Amino acid sequence: MITEFLKMGGYGIYVWSSFFIVITSCAFLFYKTRKTLKKYEKEFAKELEKLPAEHKKRIAKSSKVISSILASQNKLS
């Protein structure tokens, strides 16, 4: 039964290769996009680390973007 399912009436190679190409391409773009996002979040957090503590606290409170990035970085560490 499994062999029949894999063979897909003789069209298995076409059907499976189509689904495989779509899934792997999508997974690759997801991996690449996520990696770039994490890289920029990390770099941004590093830049923030260089700022004086008081200044950092103040902007983390006032900027939603910065607090969101810091929150995601804390989750990673």
Cα(32)–Cα(38) distance, rounded to whole angstroms?
10
Least distance from C-beta 45 to another protein, angstroms? 10
CB 48 within 8 A of CB 70: yes
Identified binder of another protein from the candidate list 3, 44, 57, 70, rule CB under 8 A: 44
Q: Tokens in use for 48?
A: 């923030």
| Dmax (CA) of the chain | 69
Chain positions contacting another protein, by CB under 8 A: 5, 8-12, 14-15, 17-19, 21-22, 25-26, 29-30, 33-34, 36-37, 40-41, 43-44, 47-48, 51, 59, 63-66, 68-69, 72
